[in-house]
Amino acid sequence: MRKLFLIPLAIILFSSCKKNTNETSAKNIQGVVYLYNEFGQRLPNAAGVTVVLEYVGDTAITDSAGGFSFTSKYLPAVSYTIMYSKSGYGTYQQNFTIAANTANTTVPNAAVYANSTTVITNLAATIDTAYSSGGYYTIYLTGALTPAGTTQEPRNMIVFTGPTPDVSPTNYANAWFIGTTIYGTLKVYVSNVPGGQTLYLVGYGISMPTSSTAYQDPTTGKFVYPSICSTPSNVASIALP
């Protein structure tokens, strides 16, 4: 059993496609996408990823090496958003900037992970009074994992919390990265949770237990965590005095 301390996550966001027609434009945009399975192992064939240049509408498909390009397209030298998607994988988003007076632009390498197959059941939350004081609580989370984790195939989890029972990956207040386990059970402590609230929690398996692939939805303002399992756990609740 481990303790998980809540640490604020900071993700740098860039502006999206603010056009300035006075700047010189680029002609060719190119990049490379790497595909990974849900256990973080890189796959040898990265073909078939759809790459979309947002706000412009251009689309490319990666080859077996993960390469793609948009050619003969003159664009203002500003910041753009690019999306990567493939069936069975989490959708990834990143931003890049076209420099002025540049004929060719190479975007940073992208990593796309397969969706998790880990299902969490019997999720429950209780207060650990021994480590709770000053209006802050330590919560003990338990549950079962299917399939169980192994040394070769560890399982990763994320729990979304919110003030209402309809908590979900798109409707949440906080996201807790539970970490990796090689067992078939979830047993973890979450510390420093403020009191005076009732929390609702729902858990998901996730391929990449980190914020590195998260991006902000411009419509909702919420961060999107790709590559989670399509099956949620039950919704658990806990009252914190």
Fold classification of 28-113 is: Immunoglobulin-like (2.60.40)
Fold classification of 115-240 is: Immunoglobulin-like (2.60.40)
Share of the chain above pLDDT 70, in %: 87
pLDDT bin (cut points 50, 70, 90) of residue 8 is very low
Nearest to 181 by CA among 214, 211, 199, 203: 203
Per-residue model confidence as pLDDT tens digits over 57-101: 889 999 999 999 987 567 788 888 999 999 999 999 988 888 777
Q: What is the pLDDT of residue 12?
A: 32
Q: What is the pLDDT of residue 1?
A: 52
Tally of CB atoms within 10 A around 56: 15
Tell me the whole-structure pTM to 2 decimals.
0.83
Domain map of the chain by residue range? 28-113, 115-240
For the chain, helix, strand, coil in percent to 5 are 0, 50, 50
On whether the CB atoms of residues 74 and 27 are closer than 8 A, the answer is yes
Alpha-carbon gap, residue 87 to 210, rounded angstroms: 21
Alpha-carbon gap, residue 105 to 99, rounded angstroms: 8
Q: What is the pLDDT of residue 10?
A: 37
Per-residue model confidence as pLDDT tens digits over 109-139: 999 999 999 999 999 999 999 999 999 999 9
Q: What is the pLDDT of residue 227?
A: 92
Taking residues 30-46, what's their average pLDDT? 94
28-113 and 115-240 share one fold: yes
Question: What is each CA distance from 87 to 61, 90, 237, 238, in whole angstroms?
Answer: 13, 8, 33, 36
Q: Which residue has the tokens 């998260």?
A: 214
Alpha-carbon gap, residue 164 to 224, rounded angstroms: 19
Q: What is the pLDDT of residue 211?
A: 61
DSSP one-letter code for 195: S
Tally of CB atoms within 10 A around 132: 18
Tally of CB atoms within 10 A around 214: 17
Nearest to 84 by CA among 116, 43, 51, 111: 51
